[in-house]
Amino acid sequence: MSARIPRDKKNDHSSEMAQQRRDFVKEQTGVELEHVGKFSFDPAMTNGNIENFIGVTQTPIGLAGPVLVNGEHAQGEYYVPMATSEGTLVASYNRGMRLLREAGGVKVSVVDDAMQRAPVFIFNDAREARDFGLWVTENFPSIKEVAQTTTKSGKLRNIEQYAAARMQYLRFNFTTGDAAGQNMVSKATYFACEWIKKNYPAGIKRYMLSGAMDTDKKHSQLNTLHTRGKRVIAEATIPSALLQSIMGVPAETLFKMRAISQVGNFMAGSSNTGAHSANGITAVFMATGQDVANVAESSAAVTFADLDDEGNYYIAITIPSLIVATYGGGTGLATQKECLDIMGCHGKDKVYKLAEIIGATVLAGELSLGAAVLAGDWVSSHDALGRNR
């Protein structure tokens, strides 16, 4: 029988238990966790974040910026912590931030906000499902009231409905304050569904709390159209001469490259018509205690570029499903909180500010990589700074 990992039912998040488990690893594998076991915070902080705690992974954190953000919540210059093991990434974002700063900054807007849970109700036939959908619409105020009894910050905004076969899929859309909110909306939706089950006059055959139309931790076109998390749009206009002096490419060349890459993205069936927003999003997520698996949704993006009458380059990136938090989850852990504090983004009423800073960061990366590909810097920069050495 395999040996069981040591646990303490009363106090499992302690330095002593972490050491016991590291000793267990050495006994079972012969590996001594010299670096994993070195950390500066009380393991009790991790209660609710991790099970069977043994230590930490130490991902390097670099600092990019400042990026000049002209947002509604983030206004001014911000230094951005980015956790990554990919050489050149921070340097590239830093270069893009310089370009945007000298161009007057990035206008960033959060234009939508919704977190979902999508239960499915199963009936005997399609007509029963249709009638149920009409009843849900009529009784939305009561459903909303029940759902909101489970949370102080979650608000049920609306319920989308989708019919298929004998099923009725409901997509509950909540705002969730400064939390990412997946657990919050799961509980609220469960209570709402139980109320529906009890009160629907015709009776319900069965339901599942998730019918997969919330597309949790995976991309979907539905999220691109209807938003999951924060819908963020970052945009800037950059003089062609400034592009040439900093990036080594004129605006017209960058504009033509963008048009060609849009065709390539279409043929590939990509969920992102830009260059690499996942790089910047993941690096900031890791530094600030976000749920990194949400990059699956958050990395979707729609880019648009244009030239004005003076030949200046307008670029915008829409991130339809940016799932971020400034409260709860991993945001209160020691290093993660410090990184949020660098940007003034920890705690209450800061989530839109963080979303705007991330949007500006992503735009900086799009500009820098696009220019690097055209100017021939892409490979040479990895040779000089990255893993090609």
Q: Which of 23, 102, 131, 382 is catalytic?
A: 382
Alpha-carbon distance of 366 to 233, in angstroms, equals 13
Angle at 348 between CA 344 and CA 350, to 5 degrees: 45
Phi, psi of 67 (to 5 degrees): -100, 135
Known catalytic residue: 382?
A: yes
Q: Which of 23, 86, 131, 338 is flagged as catalytic?
A: 86
Out of 23, 131, 160, 291, pick the active-site residue: 291
63: tokens are 């600092």
In this structure, what token pair is assigned to residue 20?
Answer: 């016991």
**107 touches 236 (CB < 8 A):** yes
Distance of alpha carbon 147 from its chain centroid, rounded? 25
Beta-carbon contacts of residue 221 (< 8 Å; ≥ 6 apart): 271
Task: Give me the residue label for tokens 């009776």.
Answer: 203
CA angle, 223 then 264 then 100, to 5°: 70
Q: Is 86 a catalytic residue?
A: yes
101: nearest Cα among 71, 74, 66: 66
At 346, the amino acid letter reads: H
Q: How far apart are CA 325 and CA 180, in angstroms?
A: 5
The Cβ of residue 208 has, within 10 Å, a number of other Cβ atoms equal to 14
Can 291 be counted among the known catalytic residues? yes
The single residue listed with the structure tokens 């993006």 is: 301
Which sequence positions are flagged as catalytic?
Answer: 86, 291, 382
